[in-house]
Amino acid sequence: MLLWTDSTWKACGVSERDGVLVALSGGADSVALLLELYSLQKDRRISRLEAAHLHHGIRGTEADADAAFVRTLCERLSIPLTVDRIDVPALAEKDGISLELAARNARYAFLERVRTDRDLDCIALGHHRDDQAETVLLRLIRGSGTDGLSGMRVRANRLIRPLLFTGKDEILAYLEARGQDWCTDRTNFEADATRNRIRLNVLPVLESLNPAIRETLADTAAHTAEDADYLNALADRAAKECGTDREKLAALSRPVRLRVLKKLLPYTDYTHADLDRLDALLLNGQTGDTATLKNGVIAWLDFRRLRIGKTEPQPYRIAVPDCGSVRLPNGTLFAEPVETAVFPCPGSDAYVDADVLKGQVTARLPAPGDRFTPFGMRGTRLLSDYLTDRKVPRFDRSMPVLCDEAGIVFVAGYTVDERMRVTADSEHIVHYHYEED
């Protein structure tokens, strides 16, 4: 092989039993990648090789010519090829995103679909060292941290990038030496997309300061990736040890703590502002304090934990079995008949007199006007007042409430209704146990 080293190929994690799908645009990078992988297949270092080409519906006859080129190339090499066409401009308009992003989303979805349909193990992309340099600059401009500045990885899930440490000049020299032609996408030379402006305008200026700037940026990404991987490993361990315990989370070092907080967010398109608000709440907030995040998500502190959830949980009503488990939006409820009750028991557990139950038991969210008689008390109380007395923030009131036809049976995590009390005369007892996610 001429275009990558054995160590780079090893990092791709591909064995002689694997099948590889090449993302074949017809450009120099993907053509060189296809030829090198074709050599690997002949040497039996991979078991199968196929290609996929997506017509984006953008460049008219030029794109038609690219599709014809890749068909001819794959026919000459006897490599199976899948071709599809998608109207990317229509997708961009429908989703309200840029043409560049719409094309990228469509391309990756197409490649994964082909990989799955053809039962292949990974997708090989033609990203090279110059692409990596552009990626690092692009993410630096956008204010990325170490994870972003690590750039693209040689292997990321099902994606492999064997050319990531190979320069564009090496790729072109390789093709010229083999007498292999390729297609040229003229849109790569139009300074409209941000990446194109970096390639055409920014990198040439940086090269005047450092002729090896592309290699330098790629090396920087590799070194940063090592640091990011180490911190992420620490964060994975810390996340298991700390859970949502606010004191344990606050005691973590900031680089590790922020990574753990990312894992707790119910969305991935977080911003630095989200993390800063969450971190400030954790370090400086008091019980009951809140922080408003994006996507209708709010974070708050209870006595022991950092809690994150939707401000307005979706209502539900789910039948509870007499015996067995049922999945609820925020956890799982278990029910089983038992011969005796075990007291005292935690708030997540309840023992009730089954003969007192009226009709079907269901689980739902607390509702305005809910009244019940808390265990050990006389007279009814509003559930909202009961929770206020226990300093439960209003944003943390999405616990399941079990009800029968007569009213509340069990407020999961807190108490049962007095009418459900198990006595020495109780002949049938049901044990409820709630495990919150």
The 3-class secondary structure across 78-130, one letter per residue, is CCCEEEEECCHHHHHHHHCCCHHHHHHHHHHHHHHHHHHHCCCCEEECCCCHH
pLDDT for the residue 251: 97
Asked if residues 300 and 392 have their Cβ atoms less than 8 Å apart, the reply is no
Give me the amino acid identity at 294.
K
Mapping DSSP onto H, E and C, the string for 26-55 reads CCHHHHHHHHHHHHHHHCCCCCEEEEEEEE
What 8-state DSSP symbol labels residue 431?
E
Query: Are 208 and 226 within 8 A, CB to CB?
Result: no
- 7: CB partners within 8 A, 6+ apart: none
Q: Which residue has the tokens 């941000």?
A: 194
Amino acid at the residue 139: R
CA 305, CA 413: separation in Å to the nearest integer? 14
| Structure-token pair, residue 153 | 């990885």
> How many whole angstroms from its chain centre is CA 342?
42
pLDDT for the residue 189: 66
Q: For 245, what's the count of Cα atoms within 13 Å in the CB-facing half-sphere?
A: 10
pLDDT for res 191: 64
Distances (CA, A) of 363 to 255, 261, 357, 399, 437: 40, 30, 14, 10, 16
Query: How many degrees, rounded to 5, is the angle at CA 311 between CA 309 and CA 314?
Result: 90
Residue 40 burial class via C-beta count within 10 angstroms: exposed 0-12, middle 13-18, buried 19 and up = middle
Q: What is the mean pLDDT of each run of 10 residues along the chain (437 residues)?
A: 87 96 96 96 95 89 92 97 91 85 91 97 97 95 91 96 96 95 79 83 95 96 96 96 95 96 88 91 91 87 86 85 93 95 92 96 96 94 93 81 97 96 94 92
Q: Are 111 and 159 in contact (CB under 8 A)?
A: no
Distance, CA of 94 to CA of 106 (rounded, Å): 13
pLDDT computed for residue 2 by the predictor: 72
Place of tokens 């007192």: 356
Q: Measure the CA–CA gap between 410 and 93, rounded to whole angstroms.
A: 50
Report if pTM > 0.85. no
Domains and CATH numbers, the chain: 6-220 (3.40.50.620), 243-310 (3.30.465), 317-436 (3.50.40.10)
| For the chain, counts of helices (H) and of strands (E) | 15, 20
The first and second tokens of residue 340, run together, are 């005796």
